[in-house]
């Protein structure tokens, strides 16, 4: 559970990033490893697991449903699967903290169970829209109750006979796609999801790795209900969303030279690499190989002069979680950067368009929010105090901004950094950022 204390980041201006680092494991893959491992037959060993608050909420939820999960080490998890129909009714509500991934994916997974269940979250998660999953799940026969505005808590009624559907998503969302595919495991017939643009495909890859066939044709993914999952060992790569902060930091801070080890470079997640290269970043992909069906590589980044660009809309879904720190890159670039087609950013842990624009304006940057993006004029970052609104990626993005600021940056409400990147502070300090924390 996230702390209610106000953790403040105090970041000194200037500095450069150096050294080799292996940052946090991939959160998306860690979530899915727990879920599919729990539903598989046999024992799944997960290495490189992200020990963040979000993933620990997923872990606790499955333990509450009778799954035996042990943790020999912080980044190692052993899941004793109970099969697709072996989950037990939890004795109380399942609290999922700040994790939208947990709530949306579990909505699909639990829609096919025999028991009722209620999903709750913290104040931030309780404001996030869930109709995007509950409505298509209802087309499959699921019964999910929410508030009048479609927000949590979600009351999922068990014992429903789900039917496969073909669903064309109005908005590209890996969470919606994954939720429907997980419900499809329990549905009669075929479940197909059609994306308007590519999104991360970790669910499809991992289902295949667990022996459950997924047919993919362009931006359409289909599976048949009624199969089974077979346990499989999983080595979780580094989360490119976490690596992104140091990729941007090394790009904007003069004299920086950083090597990030074992980073996941799934082609549905590499928008950050493509966008930084378009801006002129000095970025090399080294030692590329595959681990458990997921492509990984080492990434070397050296400082460079970035230039403003019009970000191609085709890259937006491939970098949706990385835009807070990409806005910092844009603030340090020469000229104007324009983002369009990213309205999804307004319904993340915070309204990331408005919150980032407000913060950049506070630091002296001309950043104009638009309904679906932002227009940023590169300039000189000043000192200032930022409200992260409890959003982990906002807090980390403005930590990186201090590398190019004229004075200290204070960032309030940073406790939720632990949801996705629990060792961010220590790695940032080791890499060369003058970051201290205090409780206020």
Answer for the pair 410, 387: CB distance below 8 angstroms, yes or no. no
CA distance 281 to 267: 19
Of 22, 17, 15, 13, nearest to 421 by C-alpha is: 22
Q: Which strands form 366-370's sheet, in the order they lie side by side?
A: 336-339, 373-377, 366-370
* Residues 363, 383 contacting (CB under 8 angstroms): yes
- The answer to whether the CB of 377 falls within 8 A of the CB of 365 is yes
**Which residue is it, tokens 């190692």?**
76
The answer to whether the beta carbons of residues 370 and 340 sit under 8 Å apart is: yes
Query: CA–CA separation, 234 vs 255, rounded Å?
Result: 37
CA distances from 321 to 33, 89, 174 (A): 20, 33, 12
| Residue 176 CA: distances (Å) to CA of 33, 122, 137, 203, 337 | 17, 20, 10, 11, 29
Active site residue 321: yes
Which residue among 26, 321, 387, 413 is the active-site one? 321
Residue 49: phi and psi, rounded to 5, are -60, 140
Radius of gyration over every alpha carbon of the chain, rounded to an integer in angstroms:
21
Contact 421, 325 (CB under 8 A): no
User: What are the φ/ψ torsions at residue 260 (nearest 5 degrees)?
Assistant: -105, 120
Could you tell me the two tokens for 29? 């893959």
> How far is Cα 367 from Cα 362, in angstroms, rounded to an integer?
10
Tell me the C-alpha distance between 80 and 68, whole Å.
5
What beta strand segments (E) does 314-407 contain?
A: 336-339, 366-370, 373-377, 384-387
**What are the residue numbers of the active site?**
321
């Amino acid at each position: 559970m996230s702390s209610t204390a106000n953790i403040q980041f105090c970041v000194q201006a200037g500095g450069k990033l150096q050294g080799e680092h292996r940052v946090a494991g991939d959160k998306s893959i860690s979530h899915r490893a727990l879920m599919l491992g729990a539903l598989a037959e046999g024992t799944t060993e997960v290495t490189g697991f992200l020990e963040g608050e979000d993933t620990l909420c997923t872990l606790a939820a499955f333990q509450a449903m009778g799954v035996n999960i042990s943790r020999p080490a912080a980044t190692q998890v052993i899941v004793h699967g109970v099969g697709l129909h072996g989950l037990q009714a939890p004795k109380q509500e399942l609290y999922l903290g700040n994790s939208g991934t947990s709530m949306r994916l579990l909505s699909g997974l639990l829609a096919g169970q025999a028991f009722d269940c209620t999903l709750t979250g913290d104040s931030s998660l309780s404001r996030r829209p869930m109709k995007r999953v509950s409505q298509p799940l209802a087309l499959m026969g699921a019964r999910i109750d929410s508030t009048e505005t479609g927000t949590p808590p979600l009351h999922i009624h068990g014992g429903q006979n789900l039917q496969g559907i073909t669903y064309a998503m109005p908005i590209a969302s890996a969470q919606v796609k994954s939720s429907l595919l997980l419900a499809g495991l329990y549905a009669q017939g075929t479940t197909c999801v059609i994306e308007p643009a590519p999104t991360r495909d970790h669910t499809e890859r991992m289902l295949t790795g667990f022996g459950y066939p997924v047919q993919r044709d362009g931006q359409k993914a289909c599976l048949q209900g009624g199969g089974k999952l077979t346990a499989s060992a999983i080595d979780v790569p580094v989360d490119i969303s976490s690596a992104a902060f140091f990729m941007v930091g090394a790009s904007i801070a003069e004299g920086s030279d950083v090597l990030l080890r074992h980073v996941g470079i799934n082609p549905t997640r590499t928008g950050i690499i493509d966008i930084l290269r378009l801006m002129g970043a000095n970025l090399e992909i080294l030692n590329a190989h595959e681990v458990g069906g997921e492509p990984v590589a080492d990434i070397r980044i050296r400082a460079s002069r970035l230039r403003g660009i019009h970000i191609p809309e085709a890259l937006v879904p491939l970098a949706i979680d990385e835009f807070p720190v990409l806005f910092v890159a844009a603030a340090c670039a020469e000229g104007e950067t324009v983002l369009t087609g990213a309205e999804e950013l307004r319904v993340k842990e915070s309204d990331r368009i408005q919150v980032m624009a407000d913060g950049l304006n506070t630091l002296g940057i001309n950043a104009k929010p638009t309904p679906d993006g932002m227009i940023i004029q590169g300039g000189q970052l000043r000192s200032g105090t930022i409200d992260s609104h409890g959003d982990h990626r906002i807090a980390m993005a403005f930590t990186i901004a201090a590398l190019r600021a004229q004075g200290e940056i204070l960032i309030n409400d940073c406790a939720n950094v632990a949801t996705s990147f629990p060792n961010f502070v220590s790695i940032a300090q080791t890499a060369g950022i003058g970051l201290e924390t205090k409780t206020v």
